[in-house]
Amino acid sequence: MNINKSNPLLLHPLNKWMKKKKWSWFPHQIETFHHVRTGSDVVVFAPTGAGKTLTGFINPIYDLIKLKKFKGLHTLYISPLKSLANDIVRNLEKPIKELDLNISFQVRTGDTTPYKKQKQKQKPPNILITTPESLALLNSYENAKEFFHNLKYIIIDEIHTFLDNKRADLLSLNIERLQTFSPNLQRIGLSATLKNKQDAKKWLCRKKPKIVSYENSVLPKIRILESKERIPWSGHMATYSINEIYKEIMQSKLTIIFVNTRAQAEYIFKNLWLINKKKLKIAVHHGSLEKNLRLKVENNLSKGLVDCVVATSSLELGLDYGDVEKIIQVGAPKGINRLLQRVGRSNHNLNTPSKAILVPTNRFEFIEAKAAIEEIKKNNLDKIDLKEGSFDVVAQHIFGTACSGQFEINDLYKEIIKAYPYKKLKLNDFKQLINLIQDGGYVLKNYDQFKRIFQLRENKNIYKLVNRRETRKYRMNVGTIIENPMLKIKLGTKTLGNIEEVFIQNLSQGDSFIFAGQILEFQSMKNNLVQVKRSKSLISKIPSYSGGRMPLSTNLANSVRALLAKSNMWDLYPEQITEWLKRQKNISKIPKKDEYLVEQFPRKKNFYTVIYTFAGWHANQTLGFLLLRGFKEFNYKPLGFVANDYAIVLWSLKEVKQIKTILNLGLLDKHLDNYLEETSIVKRLFRDNAIISCLIERRLPGMEKTGKQVLFSSDLIYTVLKKNEPDHILLKSSYEDAKKNMIDYDRLREILKKIDKKIILKKLTSISPLAVPIILEINRENLSKKETDEYILEDLENEILKEANVLSIN
């Protein structure tokens, strides 16, 4: 730190309050204050509990009180979540009220009433706390320029959550818009600790960019749950350890159990209740639950009225629940950053370590958990890859811009390419996106008389919205988060939450399933409402939610490989894990850190090839499809494949003799296009693209399909477009999205580039111990849809274990 002289914050209006609370200023707060005052855009990296929120407000509050009187909107604060925005208001309220400072502040989100919104427009507060979507909306109002022309600061909270998704694109475009309205605007980003801090700086900062960083020297205490039970070969439900998890809950005041999927949350919640002899107060929290149910849990959590909450990433961010003593992570950590974020939810005191327990649900996850703990000790975080901007978001932005008034095409283009994700946006693509908003942008000009925006006759470079009615449509469609079609679940007259339409379609009347911790029987579906009643059934399905499947981070994957290869560590593991790895070493091989083990063996008339890539689920899934095509080409008669985070298994009728010839970069170049075409990936992304770019209207929750349901579907549009106009910008956009985001293209490319020299091929006579988990997944995938019955799986497991001759390890 290079701030000499005494601490300038001692003269800050908040200093009195700080003193009263017996708090002192953090070094990063002093440093940020200095940089911002001297005109820099700043990103602040600090762990939770280090006064991050306050850091953002130090300069605005100082300016508002100490500098000349200011009227109107001064500072905009962007939060990733609505709930977090409300929390920020509460935190800001305390010092401002106590010190009686003359600063007005309000929140504006989708939940704000129209009346209040209207008031805000007429008489804006000094500080407005909002979300990226609400900012986009504000920018689309006719008086946007006037509203923002004096804006001094924009603060982006939890900026690390924005960097790698379409919301980041939307936000970056709208920040540039603000900068145009108010050229003196300064940017302040607040982030959890990141590996690639420079990237976050590049993304946000324009003026004298600065990074301020505060690292916590107290490391969290993380351990793996010690279990007397055997860790299962595969599966994700942690049934084996439920009693031990329960014990851990009993031993601490307040525990959050984090899981990776909503299905896991429901399942573990149910199982905990089955053994809840002490009548502990256990709650469940995930994104599909009705808002009121969620709020109730959050409330009880902050008041310490519960003993334990089972939660998904829905409880991961921000909100401060002071009394959380322990975090239990069930299932693979998947990434270091994510794990740290979760662990940080306990104990907000910086000087004492957070406490967390990892519960691996299967054997590979044990290694992964171990590796994650090692990396956290070394403070080796994951890199967040900045995303290149998507086309559809630009289209939406063009529409929004047109809603706020006419625009000049070159001015808008120049503004857009200032946004970091769009640095490389080509003028030609931009023009096509203008056309897309204008009339769909088709080569066949059929819609001349129906345009949404049109060029002025006197200046063809200026576009104008055709009528104000269109602004309403923009407002209905704003945002980049596309939910799967959801249906409301009703128990009597009470709404429990939303469930995916796809799941309900697979149910018949009388089927039971678990939701919100209750076993429910499906009765009927009417007008997008799913009517259920309570059920006593023992066999029930768990809704699985597509999406949300986080792949293993490259960083952690590398660490897993390294750890696996360290055979001197094995003796420290539970005996079953040690035995498992030792047997693998004897029967086949443990791959070294940079080796790719490929095992081949016959099994039940078929021929199996297992490739251990540790490339994460997305990349492995793609590789599986590509190999399927490669095998077909060589006439090995492949039958199928299954992929997980660590490996891929393919089975075929014939022996795969030339795996080294097939498994290389050529595979990707040769088959990727076909793959994208044949699988529904691009088609699915086209739907998102069509909605985000406002080509088709969003079906909002609760909005009913028109009576006759002869609506077009995005699939039909996709098919017609692909046949007639394969170069259309939205197809290009969907294809790019697929390549960039869905299939982990870059990661796969990196691996295939070097794989051929690093393949270790093992021909075996039967299945190896390392292959058992993924072979088990084959049967799970083929069965799970209909029969999630654990007994059947148990049975199958035993059968396969006998085959691998590894039963004795138990």
Rounded CA gap, 770 and 49, in Å?
42
The partner residues of 601 in beta bridges, in order of sequence, read: 608
Least distance to another protein, CB of residue 386, Å:
32
DSSP string computed for 186-240: EEEEEE---S-HHHHHHHH--SS-EEEE----S--EEEEPP-SSPPPSS-SS-GG
Alpha helix segments (H runs only) across 382-519: 391-404, 409-416, 427-439, 469-477, 501-505
Q: Which listed residue (447, 481, 510, 798) binds another protein by CB under 8 A?
A: 447
Nearer to another protein by C-beta: 724 or 805?
A: 724
Binding to another protein, residues 466-495 (CB under 8 A): 470, 473
Stretch that binds another protein, among 273-281, 442-450, 456-464, 604-612 (CB under 8 A): 442-450
Least distance to another protein, CB of residue 336, Å:
36
Least distance to another protein, CB of residue 466, Å:
8
Quick check: 563 and 370 in contact, CB under 8 A? yes
Q: With b meaning 16 or more CB within 10 Å and e meaning fewer, what string describes 316-352?
A: bbbbebeebebbbbbbbbbbbbbbbbbbbbbbbebee
Binding to another protein, residues 421-440 (CB under 8 A): 439-440
Nearer to another protein by C-beta: 410 or 724?
A: 724
Helix or strand or coil: residue 688?
helix
Q: β-strands 647-652, 153-156: how paired?
A: unpaired
Rounded CA gap, 591 and 54, in Å?
49
Q: Which listed residue (102, 349, 461, 505) binds another protein by CB under 8 A?
A: 505
The partner residues of 597 in beta bridges, in order of sequence, read: 760
Nearer to another protein by C-beta: 697 or 790?
A: 697
DSSP H/E element including 684: helix 681-692
CA-based nearest residue to 668, from 786, 747, 593: 747
Nearer to another protein by C-beta: 201 or 452?
A: 452
DSSP H/E element including 76: strand 75-78
User: What are the counts of helices (DSSP H) followed by strands (DSSP E) for the chain?
Assistant: 30, 26
585, HSE (Cβ side, Cα atoms, 13 Å): 13
Sheet holding 638-643, edge to edge: 638-643, 647-652, 606-612, 596-603, 759-763
Residue with token string 């047997």: 583
Nearer to another protein by C-beta: 275 or 716?
A: 716
Q: Which listed residue (118, 292, 506, 805) binds another protein by CB under 8 A?
A: 506
23 binds another protein (CB under 8 A): no
Nearer to another protein by C-beta: 122 or 709?
A: 709
What residues contact 237, with CB distance under 8 A and at least 6 apart?
A: 264, 267, 268, 271, 361
Nearer to another protein by C-beta: 323 or 787?
A: 787
Least distance to another protein, CB of residue 529, Å:
15
Rounded CA gap, 315 and 343, in Å?
12
Least distance to another protein, CB of residue 506, Å:
5
Q: Which listed residue (67, 274, 444, 700) binds another protein by CB under 8 A?
A: 444
Nearer to another protein by C-beta: 175 or 487?
A: 487
Nearer to another protein by C-beta: 124 or 440?
A: 440
- Tell me the per-residue interface mask from 727 to 746 with another protein, x by CB under 8 A, - otherwise: -x------------------
Nearer to another protein by C-beta: 358 or 721?
A: 721
CA-based nearest residue to 559, from 746, 319, 335, 228: 335
Count of residues near another protein by CB under 8 A:
34
Least distance to another protein, CB of residue 61, Å:
45
Angle at 15 between CA 13 and CA 21, to 5 degrees: 130
Nearer to another protein by C-beta: 444 or 700?
A: 444
Least distance to another protein, CB of residue 453, Å:
10
Least distance to another protein, CB of residue 447, Å:
4
Nearer to another protein by C-beta: 17 or 454?
A: 454
CA-based nearest residue to 739, from 675, 648, 645: 675
Which two tokens mark 232?
A: 């299962």
Least distance to another protein, CB of residue 406, Å:
17
Least distance to another protein, CB of residue 778, Å:
15
Nearer to another protein by C-beta: 470 or 750?
A: 470
Least distance to another protein, CB of residue 783, Å:
9
Q: How many CB atoms lie within 10 A of CB 23?
A: 12
Nearer to another protein by C-beta: 519 or 696?
A: 696
Rounded CA gap, 419 and 162, in Å?
14
Least distance to another protein, CB of residue 234, Å:
19
Quick check: 56 and 46 in contact, CB under 8 A? no
Q: Where are the beta strands (DSSP E) in 91-206?
A: 105-108, 127-130, 153-156, 186-191
Rounded CA gap, 748 and 668, in Å?
8
Q: Which listed residue (16, 450, 758, 807) binds another protein by CB under 8 A?
A: 450
Least distance to another protein, CB of residue 502, Å:
8
What residues contact 292, with CB distance under 8 A and at least 6 apart?
A: none
CA-based nearest residue to 800, from 601, 624, 590: 601
Nearer to another protein by C-beta: 24 or 713?
A: 713
DSSP H/E element including 371: helix 363-377
Q: Which listed residue (38, 122, 446, 509) binds another protein by CB under 8 A?
A: 446
Q: β-strands 153-156, 282-285: how paired?
A: unpaired
Binding to another protein, residues 775-794 (CB under 8 A): 785-786
Nearer to another protein by C-beta: 273 or 447?
A: 447
Least distance to another protein, CB of residue 384, Å:
36
Residue with token string 């069965």: 783
Q: What is the largest CA-CA distance in the chain?
A: 85
Stretch that binds another protein, among 227-235, 292-300, 446-454, 757-765 (CB under 8 A): 446-454
- 606 exposed, middle or buried (CB, 10 Å; 0-12, 13-18, 19+)? middle
Q: Which listed residue (240, 442, 617, 634) binds another protein by CB under 8 A?
A: 442
Least distance to another protein, CB of residue 454, Å:
12
Nearer to another protein by C-beta: 247 or 472?
A: 472
Least distance to another protein, CB of residue 706, Å:
10
Quick check: 364 and 646 in contact, CB under 8 A? yes
Nearer to another protein by C-beta: 102 or 506?
A: 506
Least distance to another protein, CB of residue 152, Å:
37
Rounded CA gap, 719 and 709, in Å?
19
Binding to another protein, residues 241-270 (CB under 8 A): none
- Tell me the per-residue interface mask from 686 to 725 with another protein, x by CB under 8 A, - otherwise: ---------xxx---------xxxxxxx--xx--xx-xxx
Least distance to another protein, CB of residue 782, Å:
9
Residues in contact with another protein by the rule CB under 8 A: 439-442, 444, 446-447, 450, 452, 470, 473, 502, 505-506, 695-697, 707-713, 716-717, 720-721, 723-725, 728, 785-786
